[in-house]
């Protein structure tokens, strides 16, 4: 849908172009140095430690006990009791659904059927393993998984695995960094982190672009290659399985939700390691560097050059990045954004990259007409838990291009909450650009500058 951008990235000074190149170089350098094998080795040292107790030679029984503990930690209350009693239980929430079994399973990747044999009457459960269950249109493109629990005749195993499987889908909004991270990457982390890489991911609706983009994250959550069921077409046996991913909230983790104890601080640390990010705290960055995310098609800044001039006047070194190849190459982009003290963008998926900012940095969201709720829910509220300061620049009607189109008294301008799709989406998301009031915006940036000043942080 997005037109090919004229320039993928441009910078306010040639110096900054060098920064991009050197980041690319660092990226390649580290990619060569920290090989997957070495990482796997490091990891296998740590996996012998479980429950603060060193397990030298785990017996089969001990192995099963550890797995049982991990499986039951993915459920609470009645669901957990049901898992203990029957070996199978599901949890249904607003956004997500996930089913857990701690019994041996046969997974037929030809039909995406999970067999959980027992002597009970057979029950069939069908779920679409994607953490946006409320979006019925979207779910249409997610391949269902059929779970047969009870007295069934499973096909014969062709491959035996000693570790459990996790089944999820990379369908949905793949290509959009917000949806990828919100609905797949964070839920995958929540669901699988405690297994310490000892599980195998079965990725339905497998997209190579997704694997390439998030390979560094995925390979830190599982020591095994991700399986593409469409290419596999055979029967695999596992000592247990999880179908679907757990979701705690938009771009967030809730440490009191199951599995208890996940912290945003640790997720950010995990992402920093995965992408070899240099800075954990804004004070480690010497110059006041600001990234301005420049959208090319919708929600554009109409006076971007003037904005940049004003920012430079305040003393910022400004990096302007266009939404394009650079942004979609997370290895490069995450490093680039991690080297900034302040991140400025209009409401949009690009703000998801606040996850890569160092602690104490500032995210400034230009909050457009009609997008207040989404701006707060998706990006503003999660920022605080990330240790990132959030400044909201709420535009006035005069700054929005919608004023000319609809006039001051149209409900689009006066009462956005009463405007429903498709008009809402067409106007606010796709039809709106902004001409920033420089004097007012300057105040927001002065505040940002004081927040990242060297004195207190």
Residue ranges that bind ligand NAG, judged by CB under 6 A: 56-57, 249, 254, 256-257, 407-409
Q: Which is nearer to ligand NAG, 64 or 254 (CB)?
A: 254
Least distance between ligand NAG and beta carbon 406 (Å): 10
Q: Which CB, 20 or 55, lies closer to ligand NAG?
A: 55
Q: Do the bridges between strand 145-150 and strand 317-322 make them parallel or antiparallel, or are there none, so unpaired?
A: unpaired
Q: Which tokens is 371 given? A: 């997008």
Nearest to 175 by CA among 324, 313, 331: 324
Round to whole Å and give the CA distance between 66 and 370. Answer: 49
Give all strands (DSSP E) within 109-187, no chain letters: 113-117, 123-127, 145-150, 159-160, 165-169
Strand order through the sheet with 200-204? 88-92, 97-101, 241-243, 165-169, 200-204
Instruction: Yes or no: say if 453 and 360 are a contact pair by the CB < 8 Å rule.
Output: no
278-290 CB burial, b ≥16 within 10 A, e <16: ebeebbebeebbb
Is 32 or 256 the residue whose CB approaches ligand NAG more closely?
256
Residue 52 or 57 with smaller CB distance to ligand NAG: 57
Q: How far is the CB of 233 from ligand NAG (least distance, A)?
A: 36
Shortest approach of ligand NAG to residue 66 CB, angstroms? 17
The smaller minimum CB distance to ligand NAG, of residues 45 and 57, is found at 57
Q: Is 309 helix (H, G, I), strand (E, B) or coil?
A: helix
Minimum distance, C-beta of residue 249 to ligand NAG, in the bound complex (Å): 5
The distance of closest approach from Cβ of residue 376 to ligand NAG in the complex, given in angstroms and rounded to an integer, is: 14
Q: Which is nearer to ligand NAG, 99 or 413 (CB)?
A: 413
Residue 261 has phi, psi (to 5 degrees) of 100, 0
**Nearer to ligand NAG by C-beta: 95 or 347?**
95
Rg of the chain over all Cα atoms, to the nearest angstrom: 24
Per residue in 123-139, is it b (16+ CB within 10 Å) or e — as a string?
eebebbbbbbbeeeebb
Closest Cα to residue 183, out of 96, 262, 269, 271?
96
For the bound state, the minimum distance from the C-beta of residue 398 to ligand NAG, rounded and expressed in Å, comes to: 13
Bridge partners for 159 per DSSP: 236
Task: Output the smallest distance, CB 414 to ligand NAG, in A.
Answer: 9
Please report which helix (H) or strand (E) contains residue 215, including its range.
helix 208-218
Within 8 A by CB and 6+ apart from 119, the residues are 150, 151
| Cβ closest to ligand NAG, residue 340 vs residue 388 | 388
Q: Which is nearer to ligand NAG, 15 or 56 (CB)?
A: 56
Closest CB 59 distance from ligand NAG, rounded Å: 10
CA distance 13 to 317: 9
Q: Are 291 and 362 in contact (CB under 8 A)?
A: no
- The continuous run of DSSP H or E covering 290 comes out as strand 289-294
CB of 75 to ligand NAG, least distance (A): 12
CA distance 451 to 108: 55
């Amino acid at each position: 849908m997005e037109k090919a951008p004229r320039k993928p990235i441009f910078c306010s000074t040639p110096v900054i172009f060098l920064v991009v190149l050197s980041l690319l170089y660092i990226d390649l350098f580290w990619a060569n140095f920290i090989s997957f094998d070495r990482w796997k080795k490091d990891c296998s040292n740590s996996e012998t430690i479980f429950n603060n107790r060193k397990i030298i030679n785990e017996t089969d029984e001990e192995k099963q006990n550890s797995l049982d503990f991990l499986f039951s930690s993915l459920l609470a209350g009645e669901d957990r009791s049901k898992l203990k009693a029957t070996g199978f239980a599901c949890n249904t929430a607003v956004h997500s659904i996930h089913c857990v079994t701690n019994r041996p399973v046969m997974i037929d990747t030809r039909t995406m059927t999970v067999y959980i044999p027992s002597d009970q009457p057979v029950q069939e459960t069908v779920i679409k393993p994607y953490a946006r269950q409320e979006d019925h249109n979207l779910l249409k493109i997610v391949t269902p998984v059929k779970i047969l629990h009870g007295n069934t005749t499973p096909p014969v195993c062709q491959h035996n695995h000693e570790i459990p499987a996790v089944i999820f889908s990379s369908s949905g909004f793949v290509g959009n960094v917000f949806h990828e991270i919100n609905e797949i990457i964070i839920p995958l982390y929540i669901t699988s982190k405690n297994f310490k890489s000892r599980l195998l991911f079965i990725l339905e609706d497998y997209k190579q672009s997704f694997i390439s983009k998030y390979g560094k994250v995925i390979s830190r959550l599982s020591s095994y290659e991700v399986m593409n069921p469409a290419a596999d077409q055979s029967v695999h046996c596992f000592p247990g399985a999880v179908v679907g991913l757990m979701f705690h909230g938009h771009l967030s983790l809730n440490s009191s939700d199951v599995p208890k104890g996940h912290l945003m601080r640790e997720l950010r640390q995990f992402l920093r390691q995965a992408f070899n990010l240099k800075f954990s705290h804004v004070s480690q960055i010497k110059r006041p560097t600001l990234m301005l995310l420049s959208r090319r098609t919708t929600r554009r800044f109409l006076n971007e050059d003037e904005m940049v001039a004003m920012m430079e006047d305040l003393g910022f070194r400004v990096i302007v990045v266009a939404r394009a190849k650079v942004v979609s190459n997370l290895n490069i982009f995450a490093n680039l954004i991690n080297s900034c003290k302040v991140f400025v963008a209009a409401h949009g998926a690009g703000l998801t990259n606040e996850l890569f900012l160092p602690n104490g940095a500032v995210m400034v969201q230009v909050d457009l007409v009609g997008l207040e709720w989404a701006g707060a829910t998706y990006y503003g509220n999660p920022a605080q838990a990330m240790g990132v300061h959030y400044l909201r620049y709420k535009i006035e009607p005069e700054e929005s291009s919608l004023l000319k189109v609809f006039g001051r008294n149209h409900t689009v301008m006066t009462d956005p909450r009463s405007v429903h799709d498709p008009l809402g989406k067409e106007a606010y998301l796709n039809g709106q650009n902004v001409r920033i009031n420089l004097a007012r915006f300057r105040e927001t940036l002065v505040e940002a500058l004081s927040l990242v000043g060297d004195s207190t942080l």
